[in-house]
Chain A
């Protein structure tokens, strides 16, 4: 029997892919669901759903501490995901992979451990004008606490980073540069490798918010040479409630723990507690075992399909959407350039994005409307929000056609 996964990579068959995403097969408001809110969260393949089911029906058990068979099996499954992630991002060591609740927790962890230990008054932290609130607020908090200064790289009209400004901003005072790899609102892919090089030359470390990168781009932490990389499972076809923080060993070892509790200790007496080694030092308490276990299946799904295959299909969807929406006079597209993933943010003249979103929903089309947790970026454009359609590997050209027709109808109402 032929392996269906191998079939996909040789000849892309979107219907075969759709067939392993059970949620997609449903009607919304009397129309087949067209799910274009993938940047918020993607749907899950059956392998992920079954992994969750198998875990709870077969070997649910607390990890690392038990010597019985189930504990052994659960621990092994949990640690296998760590290995899968290590390979997925090409990390040098498995101990550099920390499981978190998601991107948000990853960035908070760095800010409140690394940031707290190493930032002092007049040090500078650089972020950009297109950050998600998750990569703004933790830095504001730690800057307030330490007296460090937060600096913002401006965003151009076309939705790209002003790299000249970044260059001028980086100095000996720069300690941390934390940038979004791919903008969730615009889809812009930032030149992170160049940024990392510049930051390192000035002696600063670089944190990448890769929440929107993992599901589209080849991410190789050795090649990038980033110091930290944070992402979420649920945006890359995996379960909610689990994410990954990659950090270079030297940093992770130098950092104080984030939370105290079980698992993260080596020995506890009332006088003194010694901490466990990495990664466990940062995984206090019983972790989200089931979702970590299932995350591995999401990694396999992406890897088996191949990111190149995913990108090629998504690029076709994006090109069609961009061309189609551009033809509508009253539609304004933000960040219409070529360094982007399959995200398109737009507005219809004289219509609030909420209203447009609700009208699309009436046609079974799910988009996101609002500020997308990037209020400073919205302020940059002087708008309250946008309508955002974000495409995943299971979306079809027919669905994009429906989007264009529906927007056109709303716009010419």
Chain B
């Protein structure tokens, strides 16, 4: 599914919660519980995202020219939040990830819900995911270039 279609899907799921704060948090925690845990061996400092209040580990894999993400966190809410990003980004084309406009964040009222400190952390997650996509694309260009020469 395309990034924007997934975003629309998330928006409609959150609509059911009708801005009720507690239900929304419980829902995000449920999403966090459903996200498969990462291998303990990957939960190391170099995989930590800087700028998050809680710990968030993020790793990527490239498969069939698409970028796949795996993440984990020590808090359930953060895990739920990053699971949304994984749902939107994982398995997508690097260019699409880099160019994505994440309109679902505002639509589901994320900022009001999680406050400014966690919003900063959330922004760091997005930045890191886009950075991975960029790195992959640049490496790939390089490879193609080398292959042609």
Q: Determine chain B's interface SS by DSSP, over half rule.
A: helix
A56 at the interface (CB under 8 A from B): no
B residues within 8 A CB of A352? 54, 74-77
B115: min CB distance to chain A, Å: 8
A338 at the interface (CB under 8 A from B): no
A83 at the interface (CB under 8 A from B): no
B81: min CB distance to chain A, Å: 11
> How many residues from A make CB contacts under 8 Å with B?
12
B4: min CB distance to chain A, Å: 29
Scoring B residues 78 to 104 as 1 if CB is less than 8 Å from chain A, else 0, what string do you get? 100000000000000000000000000
A residues within 8 A CB of B22? 359, 362-363
B141 at the interface (CB under 8 A from A): no
Which A residues between 3 and 32 are near B, CB-CB below 8 angstroms? Answer: 29-30
Q: Do residues A413 and B26 form an inter-chain contact, with CB atoms below 8 A?
A: yes
A residues within 8 A CB of B77? 352, 354-355, 358
Q: Do residues A358 and B54 form an inter-chain contact, with CB atoms below 8 A?
A: no
B116 at the interface (CB under 8 A from A): no
B44: min CB distance to chain A, Å: 17
Residue of A nearest to B32 (CB): A355
Q: Do residues B21 and A354 form an inter-chain contact, with CB atoms below 8 A?
A: no
A319 at the interface (CB under 8 A from B): no
> How many residues from B make CB contacts under 8 Å with A?
13
Please, how many angstroms separate the alpha-carbon atoms of A384 and B75 in the complex?
11
Q: Do residues A355 and B21 form an inter-chain contact, with CB atoms below 8 A?
A: no
A202 at the interface (CB under 8 A from B): no
A380: min CB distance to chain B, Å: 19
Q: Do residues B75 and A355 form an inter-chain contact, with CB atoms below 8 A?
A: yes
Residue of A nearest to B74 (CB): A352
Residue of B nearest to A384 (CB): B74
Interface centre among B21, B54, B114 (most CB of A within 10 A): B21
B55: min CB distance to chain A, Å: 9
Please, how many angstroms separate the alpha-carbon atoms of A355 and B53 in the complex?
12
Please, how many angstroms separate the alpha-carbon atoms of A354 and B114 in the complex?
11
A129: min CB distance to chain B, Å: 23
Q: Which of B25, B74, B114 contacts A359 (CB 8 A)?
A: B25
B134 at the interface (CB under 8 A from A): no
The 8 closest A-B pairs by CB, nearest first: A352-B75, A362-B21, A362-B22, A354-B75, A355-B77, A355-B76, A29-B21, A355-B75
Q: List 29 A-B contacts (CB under 8 A).
A: A29-B21, A30-B21, A351-B76, A352-B54, A352-B74, A352-B76, A352-B77, A354-B53, A354-B54, A354-B75, A354-B77, A354-B78, A355-B25, A355-B29, A355-B75, A355-B76, A355-B77, A358-B25, A358-B77, A358-B114, A359-B22, A359-B25, A359-B26, A362-B21, A362-B22, A362-B25, A363-B22, A384-B74, A413-B26
Q: A358-B114, A363-B22 known; 19 other A-B pairs, CB under 8 Å? A: A29-B21, A30-B21, A351-B76, A352-B54, A352-B75, A352-B76, A352-B77, A354-B75, A355-B25, A355-B75, A355-B77, A358-B25, A358-B77, A359-B22, A359-B25, A359-B26, A362-B22, A362-B25, A413-B26
Q: Residues on B close to A: CB < 8 A?
A: 21-22, 25-26, 29, 53-54, 74-78, 114
